[in-house]
Structure formats: structure tokens, C-alpha cells
Amino acid sequence: MADPIPAPVFRNRSLLDAAQGRVPARPPVWIMRQAGRYLADYRRVRALFPNFLDFCRSPEHVAEVTIQPVDQIGVDAAILFSDILVLLPPMGLQVEFQEKRGPVIANPLRDDAVIAALPEGDLNSELAYVFEGIRLTKRALGDRVPLIGFAGGPFTVASYMVEGGSSKELSKLKALLFSRPEVFAVLMRKLASVTSAYLREQARQGADVITIMDSWAGYLGPEEYRLHVLPHTRAVIQAVKAEFPNLPVVHYANGAPHLLPHFATLGADVLGLDWRADMAAALKAYPKQVFQGNLDPCALYGSPAQIAEKTRALKSLVGARPHVFNLGHGILPDIDPAHARAFVDAVHEAN
């Protein structure tokens, strides 16, 4: 099927070029959680909403904070302000974001019959606010930079649904995987189908790049990942590519260098690595793969000069290859925005 909207010609298409394997005139950089608490203007808008999900459900405010880091930090892409957990309410799980604890799910999945009864397929009518946010953001951004849409990987979203919130070991989810793999598979299959429909609609509404954030995939060993997760994440990527063959897909996982051989078979255009990964080794082992990352988010606690030095070291490691510069995980809330800018400027500076 042809893309319904003609591809816009961006003034800054460095991310699209790099993701498609071309060397851009200037290397692209964006920052995970770039629309976030380290920006005073984000905190001002955030303060209007006691409830984080109400903020995600306000398309005008979503568009406003999505564009803030493009204006203030100079990144080469906008990422839609939302969360991977917006899929939970349409699937029947109530989620609340608490100040100290993060996401808390009131009715986590503890019963196989509940998993069997979860909805699947297209739940997009309950996510109309996300698509309206994409349309408003695209209108306000114009052709300046591409817009990244995203969803969580099925495993990472399942972790919140089963654990009931953030978790140190993912022991409940992994207990399900090891003790009742067929029930785990049903959950993954349903999440993959909901996520596929959700991401396809994001692309129809104007997302120029899709990121799949399977942040916690690294909790699994290679065999479990290959058997129980990889087919489902690959199905999501294939569903997006079936409708949008040229839309770049980025896959991100945290703390998962041991899974790189499997990630390389997912069909993603870009693989996001965290700071623990040996980027030099990854570049050598996968000469044709485009990578994203992998500055330690804590490197931004250094002085602007120290940040520039670390960034230059990463640039020289990557050399002439297309690469997407980013942190290895989200920017921390107490980082000085001037330090985020120092990172972006160092990526952009001529060698």
C-alpha cells in the first residue's frame, strides 16, 4: 500500500538519511526523554496537570512540549510526547503515574483467564488523542525536523502489566514465561497486535520515524529472548514495514549488549544501544548496521568541555559511518539544559 501522505521534504533530514544508511551532511542527534523535566518550560506545562496521563491526553500541550527541545536544545528530531503505557487503559488496565514511585497499575495481570480475555487488534479509537497530538505537532513543526512516533516493545509493556509497576527483577513476568509459556505467548501476541495497529496509525497520521522501546529486554538471556520475545517484536516491525516500507524503524533496548546478535535480525533500520555496550565492537561486528547512542546519561553531569570531549571520542569511533547520536537512556531530570546543548553542539561541530 502506498503512503497516503506525500513524504514532506525536510529542511533537516539528517536523521532520515542516517537511518536509511546514507551519510548525512551533519550527523543527527536526539535525546531520549528530550521533552522532560530538565526543561523549565516542560515543568511549567507539566504543573498544569496533576495527572500525567491527562497531560498525555491534551494534544495542544503535547505539541507544545514536543517542540520545546527542537527550539531550545537544537536536536534534529522531535519525539512525540506520550508514554509507552498509554496502551494499558484501552487494554483494561488502570495506570497512574505517582511522583515518587513512577507508574502504578491498580489491576495488574495475575490471572491466566484475564490474559485470555484481554482485547487485541486495533484499539486505536481509544487512542485518538495521540493521533491528534501527532497532527497538531506536525502542523506546528512544519518541515523543520522529522517527528518520531513510538511504542514500547511487547516484552517491556508486558512487564508493567504483570509486575504492576517498575520492578527490579521482573520476577513475576519471568515466572509467567518459565512456568506457563503458552500464557506468556498469548499476552505477547496480543500486545504485538495492538502495538502494530497503534504504530501503523501513528505513521498514517504523520510520524516520520518509529521507535520501539523494549527497554527491559535485557533482563532475558539470549535463548529466552530468541524464543519468546523476538518473534513478537519482529511481527510489529513487519506490520509497520508492510504498510510503510520506507519508514525508518529504530529499536532500543537498555542493558542488552548480549542480545545484539538477535536484535540484528529484527528488521529494524537502527539499533539503539546503551552506554554499557562496546560501540567499537558493535560497529566492527556489524559493518552495515546503523546504531544509535550511546553516551552515558551521567556524562551530562560533566562540564560542557568534558561533554564535548566525550562526544568527540564517540564521533571518532563512529568515523564516516551513518550514526544516530543519542544518550544510552533518558536524560536525567536534574541535568542543566546548557549541558544537553553542549552535547548537541559537539555532535554538530565540524571535525
At 331, the amino acid letter reads: I
Could you tell me how many residues of this chain bind ligand CP3 (CB under 6 A)? 24
Does residue number 209 form part of the binding site for ligand CP3 (CB under 6 A)?
A: no
Site string for ligand CP3, 59-88 (x = CB under 6 A): --------------------x-xxxxx---
With 0-12 / 13-18 / 19 or more C-beta atoms within 10 angstroms meaning exposed / middle / buried, residue 341 is middle
97 binding ligand CP3? (CB under 6 A) = yes
Q: How far is the CB of 303 from ligand CP3 (least distance, A)?
A: 24
Q: CA-to-CA distance for 194 and 124, rounded, in angstroms?
A: 8
* Member of 4, 102, 121, 142 binding ligand CP3 (CB under 6 A): 102
Q: With respect to ligand CP3, which residue has the nearer C-beta, 79 or 123?
A: 79
Computed on alpha carbons and rounded to an integer, the radius of gyration of the chain in Å comes to 19
Set of cell numbers at residue 266: 529484527
Please choose, out of 97-105, 168-176, 258-266, 274-282, the segment that lies near ligand CP3 by the rule CB under 6 A: 97-105
- Can you tell me the distance from the alpha carbon of 136 to that of 139, in angstroms, rounded to the nearest whole number? 5
Interacting residues of 291 by C-beta distance below 8 A, sequence separation 6+: 270, 271, 272, 273, 279, 282, 283, 318, 323, 324
Q: Interface with ligand CP3 by CB under 6 A: which range of 33-41, 107-115, 116-124, 285-293?
A: 33-41
Length of the chain, please? 351
For position 150 contacting ligand CP3 by CB under 6 A, the verdict is yes
Q: Is 35 in the site for ligand CP3 (CB under 6 A)?
A: yes
Classify residue 340 by burial, with Cβ atoms within 10 Å: 0-12, 13-18, 19+.
Answer: buried
Min. distance of Cβ 307 from ligand CP3 in angstroms?
A: 19
Which residues are annotated as catalytic? Answer: 33, 37, 46, 83, 160
197 backbone dihedrals φ, ψ, rounded to 5°: -65, -40
For the bound state, the minimum distance from the C-beta of residue 253 to ligand CP3, rounded and expressed in Å, comes to 9
Query: Does 103 engage in binding with ligand CP3 (CB under 6 A)?
Result: yes
Interacting residue ranges for ligand CP3, rule: CB under 6 A: 32-37, 46, 52, 79, 81-85, 97, 102-103, 150, 156, 166, 213, 215, 254, 330
